[in-house]
């Protein structure tokens, strides 16, 4: 229920409506200086279209109108509900940074610099893509440029704040005091003026996360049998010997090691490692599991660490368990 309220609230900000909970649901469509409300029966959601103010229709018939306005209804609302389910079920979250920047060279530089420091980084170039990612993936922190091509950065801060308390650091070339004050008042946690160095940016990230009680000082390496996975250095050793893993192979192994002994579903792994909120391709996961098994010196037919549970997912255990 809470997830539905949050999703509808954000959708309201985007589409220009207000949602009122009660014994049923009331969607208020604002038209000019007045507003029309239609109290529906319990378990129903109704709205009025601007084309025919007197005609009350179900949300299912009104949905195409919303899609024409922004194309968001069919994507963001399901993503919000998926985010609520993931937050409830997944105890493990890597330190993840979302970079929202439309300048490609800057976006790539920040992505690479933070990735080299052990962060799991995702990047997008538009505000609407950022909002969808926040709802679907619940990142640890957002780095937000104000000069986006579709949604103003200050508006996007308010939209994100309607659904999430994720820390936001503004990264922008706008160094005037009114913009800085407005961004901080709207919910940003820090404000950095370009150009800046990656070391300074990483220090600001650590400071914001400490203030919010989300200090991301990496934990001790995770050990499962002779296998050691170190998130801080992004290294893996087996019986003291280093293993060369690709980035996604490491993130997959880290996600499994963080819940060693538990069965992790394929859907959870695809959402967590590949940011596929809607499930993604099992083939992608199977290929990476096969590569991991090869580097761990095992096969699917004769597993040692990685045990598949048919139709469910994968479990990482010590061979001695």
Could you give the domains of the chain?
2-86 (no CATH), 93-211 (3.40.50.2300), 222-316 (1.10.10.10)
Query: Residue 240 burial by CB count (10 A; 0-12/13-18/19+): exposed, middle or buried?
Result: exposed
Q: Which two tokens stand for residue 238?
A: 């087996």
Report whether 314 contacts 263 (CB < 8 A). yes
What's the average model confidence in pLDDT over 97-112? 93
Output the pTM of the full model: 0.46
Residue, of 66 and 71, whose pLDDT is higher: 71
The predicted structure's pLDDT at residue 75: 53
What's the average model confidence in pLDDT over 168-192? 91
Q: Which two tokens stand for residue 40?
A: 């529906």
Categorize the per-residue pLDDT at 293 as very low, low, confident or very high, splitting at 50, 70 and 90. very high
Categorize the per-residue pLDDT at 25 as very low, low, confident or very high, splitting at 50, 70 and 90. very low
Whether 30 shows a pLDDT value over 90: the answer reads: no
Strands 96-100 and 141-144 come out as parallel
């Amino acid at each position: 229920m809470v997830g539905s309220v949050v999703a509808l609230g954000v959708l309201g900000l985007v589409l220009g409506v207000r949602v009122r909970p009660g014994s049923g649901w009331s969607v208020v469509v604002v038209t000019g200086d007045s507003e029309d409300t239609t109290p529906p029966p319990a378990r129903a959601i109704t709205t009025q279209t601007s084309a025919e103010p007197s005609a009350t229709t179900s949300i299912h018939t009104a949905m195409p109108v919303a899609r024409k306005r922004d194309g968001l209804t069919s994507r963001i609302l399901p993503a919000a509900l998926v985010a609520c389910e993931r937050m409830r079920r997944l105890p493990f979250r890597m330190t993840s940074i979302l970079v929202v920047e439309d300048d490609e060279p800057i976006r790539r530089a920040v992505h690479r610099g933070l990735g080299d420091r052990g962060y799991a980084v995702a990047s997008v170039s538009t505000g609407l893509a950022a909002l969808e990612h926040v709802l679907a993936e619940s990142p640890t922190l957002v780095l937000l440029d104000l000069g986006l091509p579709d949604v103003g950065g200050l508006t996007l801060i308010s939209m994100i704040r309607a659904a999430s308390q994720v820390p936001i650091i503004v990264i922008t070339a706008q160094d005037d005091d009114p913009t800085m004050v407005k961004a901080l008042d709207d919910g940003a946690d820090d404000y950095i003026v370009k150009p800046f160095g990656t070391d300074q940016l990483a220090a600001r990230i650590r400071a914001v996360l400490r203030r919010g009680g989300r200090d991301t000082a990496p934990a001790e390496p995770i050990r499962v049998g002779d296998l050691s996975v170190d998130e801080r250095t992004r290294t893996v050793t087996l019986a003291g010997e280093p293993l060369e893993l690709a980035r996604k192979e490491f993130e997959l192994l880290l996600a499994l090691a963080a819940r060693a002994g538990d069965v992790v579903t394929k859907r959870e792994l695809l959402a967590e490692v590949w940011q596929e909120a809607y499930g993604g391709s099992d083939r992608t996961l199977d290929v990476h599991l096969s590569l991991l098994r090869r580097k761990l010196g095992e096969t699917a037919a004769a597993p040692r660490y990685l045990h598949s549970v048919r139709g469910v997912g994968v479990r990482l255990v010590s061979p001695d368990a």
